[in-house]
Amino acid sequence: MSLTAVANATLKKLFPNNEKSLISGVHLFGIHLETLKQARENCNQLRPPKLLKPLELCSKTTVNRRQHEFGEKLKQYSQTEGVKIYGEDQVNFKQISYNVKNMDFHINYESNNNKENEEKLTSIVRAVDQNYIPRKGYQALASIESNLEREWAVSNQRHKITKNINQKIPITLINIPINSTQNESVFEDNLNTFSVGITKQFKILRMGGYRSVKDILIYIVPVLILNGILDVNNPIIHLRISGDGRNVGRKIKHVMITMAILDDE
């Protein structure tokens, strides 16, 4: 029961005919008095400080809460003391790093800029792909250097780029006809000369995929013109088309058609 409820119950017993009268329990019992406030503060100072659980025994939630609380108090203290040193120029924290019992903590005070962060992730994806850095290799680097973006963020950005490219330059499926030498029976006899696994692959692999050269050019030509690689006044583009193949496993071989834009004929 609250103080006000107790005060009003006492008031009704003393003055039963005055039902509409109300009284504040805080003022009746003197809870608002400054002397009482000082007495409570003195009692709190006399109490022994609360022992905090060691950091290594705390849960992840408690560790994060302490980190957040420490970061906020440090920010407030730095802004208060910063006025004494830098005057009206406000001190803004970007990042801080500290260590507690061999546990490293990093606090980022900067607001998330989605565009800037996306450009940074795209640059990391480009660097990783161009230098053939494997996923586990990047994970190992990110675990050592905390300033590197997490691997899952880089992977999500790569999937986003792939999805965007597939929308602008879609992969189209085509049927690959299997031409028999004379008739179907002769073709079946020829298949029997191979092993069972290879024969099944011949019968199953009747689909192929390709990207349209026209779609690729529509996508990359504006960028090449913007970068000064292609001349707007010269409408002719020289292409070199070549092919390459690689084994996928032991039974399937991929044949890839590559295209390059030449500077001249």
Arithmetic mean of pLDDT, 166-195: 61
Cβ-contact 252, 205 below 8 angstroms:
yes
Q: Residue 204 above 60 pLDDT?
A: no
Phi/psi for 119 (5° steps) reads: -65, -40
- Taking CA atoms, 231 is separated from 214, 216, 217, 227, 240, in Å, by 18, 18, 14, 10, 18
Counts for the chain of helices (H) and strands (E), in that order: 10, 6
Query: pLDDT band for position 29 (50/70/90)?
Result: low
For the segment 59-85, what is each residue's pLDDT rounded down to a tens digit? 888 888 988 898 888 888 888 888 888
Q: What is the pLDDT of residues 124-136, one digit of tens each?
A: 999 999 998 999 9
Q: How far is CA 136 from CA 131, 140, 153, 156, 251, in A?
A: 14, 6, 14, 15, 28
Contacts of 155 (CB under 8 A, 6+ apart): 135
More confident residue, 206 or 68: 68
- Paired sense of beta strands 238-248 and 171-175, if any: unpaired
Residue 186 in this model has a pLDDT that exceeds 50? no
> In 59-180, which ranges are E strands?
95-100, 103-108, 171-175
pLDDT single digits (tens) 34-57: 776 777 777 766 666 677 888 888
Q: What percent of the chain has pLDDT over 90?
A: 9
Tens digit of pLDDT for each residue in 112-168? Answer: 667 888 888 999 999 999 998 999 999 898 888 877 888 898 999 999 999 998 888
One DSSP character per residue, 235-261 reads: ---EEEEEEEEEEETTTEEEEEEEEEE
Mean pLDDT for the chain overall: 77
Residue 149: CB partners within 8 Å, gap ≥ 6? 120, 121, 124, 142
Domain limits of the chain? 25-110, 112-168
Residues found in the chain: 265
Has residue 192 got a pLDDT over 80?
A: no
